[in-house]
Amino acid sequence: MALLFEPLTIRDVNFRNRIWVPPMCQFACEDQTGNPNSWHLVNAGSYAAGGAGMVMVEATAISPIGRITAQCAGIWNDHQRDLWKPVAAFIESQGSVPAIQIAHAGRKASDDMHEKALPLDQGGWETIGPSALAVDGLTVPRVMTTEDIAVVVQEFADAARRSVEAGFKVIEIHAAHGYLLHEFLSPLSNIREDQYGGSLENRARFLLEVVKVVREQIGSDIPLFVRFSATDWVDDGWTPEETAIVAKWCQELGADLFDISSGGLLRSIFISSTPGYQVPFSETVKNEGKVLTAAVGKITTAVQAEQILQEEKADAIFIGRQLINDPHFPLRAAHELGIEVDYRPVPHRPGYWN
């Protein structure tokens, strides 16, 4: 049995294989409502029917001002929760695990889809962040008070509760790619002098508060993931070693696996994105933190993904680009590795049309 197709059980959830769909923004919501629609059902459903072990829907905002753009999806109200229900149900009906990433964009919110600030008179909104430091092209965020932080912690808790009510079986907290929780973690974007700034413990405090309340909301059966950018790709920024330390702290509060990406805090940073370029970060966090990790980033072949697992650099593989190109990649990967799987959709099985 190839490790790529060896089932994995975390808490009460069994994943049929280690090929997982990462959260990929769709920018497909209409009328600035944050409401998921038929696109979200068909897009996510195609990956589930294609054999993925888990399908995680896009970064889903916990509040209207937590959206990256006006076209991003949300789960800040019960109507959105109910619109996500058929998406989660269809993913599960295909034998895949439905998952959701809950997120707040922080200072990178109110983007006009072209890395510029969406004007207020066109539906834009005031952004918030740890410090009065802007991302290139966007507005200077309002500095969050401790009261603001408490509000956002509760919004994460409420979003997690609604996600479980919608039928999602895995919850991921987005603490990567330069969005709000990452902004607090990195010393490049967090220059606060209160209990949420300065030392690593203080910069991680906000995230740890979120992990704690989310675990309380979702109960003991649902796996909880955290996505990290393991490096800012510049000197004096966030590091893989800090990621490993904070991942361990998150684990102690109930997080189960860490989705290891990189970058996103600063623009105009050159990253040599060769095949598997982020895998070493997953390996560092896995080994130094003694935690489960998933690798992501230009992993495009079955052999490459299998080798990462065989070399114990990750426990699961997130594949994005290749699944966009071929939603049935997991079934093809099984064939390439000589693995027989029993979850090909019935209409696609050999002999069905004979």
Residue 75, both tokens = 């789960």
Mean pLDDT value across residues 14-34: 96
Distance CA 46, CA 90 (A): 10
pLDDT reading at 351 higher than 80? no
Per-residue confidence band for 248, with pLDDT thresholds at 50, 70 and 90:
very high
> What band does 347 get if pLDDT is binned at 50, 70 and 90?
confident
Q: What is the mean pLDDT of residues 125-141?
A: 97
Per-residue pLDDT at 230: 98
Provide the β-strand partners of residue 97.
54
What is the CB-side half-sphere exposure of residue 10 using CA atoms within 13 A?
Answer: 25
From 93-102, 150-159, 281-290, 345-354, the region with the lowest mean pLDDT: 345-354
**Helix, strand or coil for residue 299?**
coil
CATH number of 3-348, picked from 3.20.20.70, 3.30.365.10, 3.40.50.300, 3.40.50.10090? 3.20.20.70
For tokens 């609604």, the residue is: 162
pLDDT, position 343: 85
Q: Please report the beta strands in 45-85, taking only residues with DSSP state E, as ranges in sequence order.
A: 54-61
CB 301, CB 3: distance < 8 Å: no
Q: Which residue has the higher pLDDT, 51 or 271?
A: 51
Average pLDDT of the residues in 84-96:
98
pLDDT of residue 344: 82
Domain ranges for the chain? 3-348
Which residue of the set 179, 196, 277, 343 is catalytic?
Answer: 179
Q: Residue 228: pLDDT above 70?
A: yes
- Between these two residues, 100 and 269, which has the higher pLDDT value? 100
The pLDDT assigned to 320 comes to 95
- CA dist 72 and 92 (Å) reads 23
Instruction: Identify the CA nearest to 199 among candidates 165, 249, 158, 151.
Output: 249
CB atoms within 10 A of CB 195: 13
pLDDT of 279 higher than 90: yes
pLDDT score for 103: 98
Do residues 291 and 211 make contact, with C-beta atoms less than 8 angstroms apart? Answer: no
Q: Which helix (H) or strand (E) holds 21?
A: strand 19-21
Per the prediction, the chain carries an average pLDDT of 96
Is 47 annotated in the active site? no
Q: What percent of the chain shows pLDDT beyond 70? A: 99
Tell the residue number behind the tokens 């918030």, with chain if given.
Answer: 128
Closest by alpha carbon to 139, among 129, 151, 152?
A: 129
170, β-bridge pairs = 99
DSSP codes joined into one string, 259-288: EEE---SSSS------TTTTHHHHHHHHHH
Question: Parallel, antiparallel, or unpaired for β 8-10 and 13-15?
Answer: antiparallel
Q: What percent of the chain has pLDDT above 90?
A: 94
Beta bridge partners of 57: 100
How far apart (Å, rounded) are the C-alpha atoms in residues 229 and 16?
27
Given a cut of 90, is residue 186 above it in pLDDT? yes
| Contact of 172 with 99, CB cutoff 8 Å | yes
CB neighbour list of residue 145: distance below 8 Å, 6 or more residues apart = none
Residue with the two structure tokens 């974007």: 189
**Residue 45 to residue 87: CA distance in whole angstroms:** 7
Q: What is the DSSP letter of 117?
A: B
Tell me, rounded to whole angstroms, the distance of Cα 108 from its chain centroid: 16
Give the pLDDT of residue 353.
56
Give the closest residue to 158 by CA, choosing from 209, 214, 223: 214
Task: Output the pLDDT for position 43.
Answer: 97
Listed range (26-40, 193-207, 230-244, 334-348) with the worst mean pLDDT? 334-348
pLDDT band at 268; cut points 50, 70, 90: confident
Give the C-alpha separation, 276 to 289, whole Å.
21
